[in-house]
């Protein structure tokens, strides 16, 4: 068995997975609130050391040593994938219903046909009924939604609408500058961000075990701003070039295993001596 060929194949598959992740990040470099995906590459030797106690054979037996010597390989492979929730750059828009969260780990909540979803994208607007919705038309939830089941509705004729840092929405009395407090945005801070699952449309599915308790004093809502993607296009392009070069290297290693070594072996074995 040509173990080198299979090692090169596994390494190439790992780089293909890296390229897919990098491509997804680059495709969303201009998506507001997008959080980049990251991969951790490990090798069998490290993974073996972490799980050696779970092997069926004890580490200190002859059979265990044979298993180790036969199976151990330093083939790179994806050991973990995770979402980087670091803060993106805040861009000022001065739009009334554009909102950004200035604190990591906090999310807006929206109501979708599949249930409550979380998002960092705060480009909101009013629909024809005066309900606050996101770009996909999903209702933006208020802090009392689980009790009242009512959406955030505003009068299109309100000339002044302010949203405080805690998500408190206030509108003016018609014909005056006196402000009246209305609904409050639901700001969620999940207990474990890594348990969130991406669903598409920049939405996250919360962990079913998370109670989704609204933050009373979030202090992170910024009206008139949007959070840009945290993807660094330059770093992603460098990683893409690196992965592409590694694919080429693994391809050459595979060619050497299948062509050069096999050819050499066949020529030598085929020689008959009299």
Q: What are the domain boundaries of the chain? A: 3-85+232-270, 90-227
Contact 92, 224 (CB under 8 A): yes
For the entire predicted model, the pTM comes to 0.78
Residue 96, SS3 per DSSP: coil
CA distance 211 to 192: 11
Rounded to an integer, the average pLDDT of 20-34 is 94
Confidence of residue 69 (pLDDT cuts 50, 70, 90): very low
CA distance 33 to 83: 13
CA distance 144 to 151: 9
Q: What pLDDT, on the 0 to 100 scale, is given for residue 70?
A: 47
Q: What is the rounded average pLDDT for all residues in the chain?
A: 84
Confidence of residue 234 (pLDDT cuts 50, 70, 90): very high
CA distance 16 to 11: 9
- pLDDT tens readout for residues 152-210: 998 877 778 999 999 999 998 877 778 888 899 999 999 888 899 999 889 999 999 88
């Amino acid at each position: 068995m040509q173990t080198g060929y299979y090692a090169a194949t596994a390494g190439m598959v790992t780089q293909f997975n890296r390229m897919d992740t990098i491509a997804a990040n680059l495709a969303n470099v201009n998506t507001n609130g997008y959080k980049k995906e990251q991969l951790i590459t490990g090798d069998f030797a490290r993974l073996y050391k972490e799980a050696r106690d779970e092997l069926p054979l004890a580490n200190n037996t002859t059979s265990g040593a044979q298993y180790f010597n036969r199976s151990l390989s330093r083939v790179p492979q994806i050991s973990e994938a995770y979402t980087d929730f670091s803060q993106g750059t805040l861009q000022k828009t001065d739009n009334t219903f554009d909102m950004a969260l200035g604190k990591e780990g906090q999310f807006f909540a929206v109501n979708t046909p599949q249930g409550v979803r979380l998002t960092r994208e705060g480009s909101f607007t009013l629909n024809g009924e005066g309900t606050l919705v996101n770009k996909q038309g999903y209702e933006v939830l208020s802090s009392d939604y689980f009790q009242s089941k009512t959406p955030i509705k505003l009068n299109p004729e309100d000339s002044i609408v302010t949203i405080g840092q805690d998500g408190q929405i206030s509108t003016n009395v018609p014909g005056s500058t006196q402000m009246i407090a209305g609904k409050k945005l639901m700001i969620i801070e999940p207990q474990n961000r890594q348990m969130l699952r991406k669903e598409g449309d920049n939405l996250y599915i919360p962990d079913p075990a998370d109670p989704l308790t609204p933050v009373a004093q979030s202090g992170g809502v910024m009206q008139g701003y949007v959070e840009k993607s945290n993807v660094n296009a330059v770093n992603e392009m460098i990683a893409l070039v690196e992965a592409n070069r590694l694919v080429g290297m693994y391809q050459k290693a595979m060619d050497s295993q299948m062509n050069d070594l096999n050819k050499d072996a066949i020529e030598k074995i085929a020689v008959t001596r009299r």
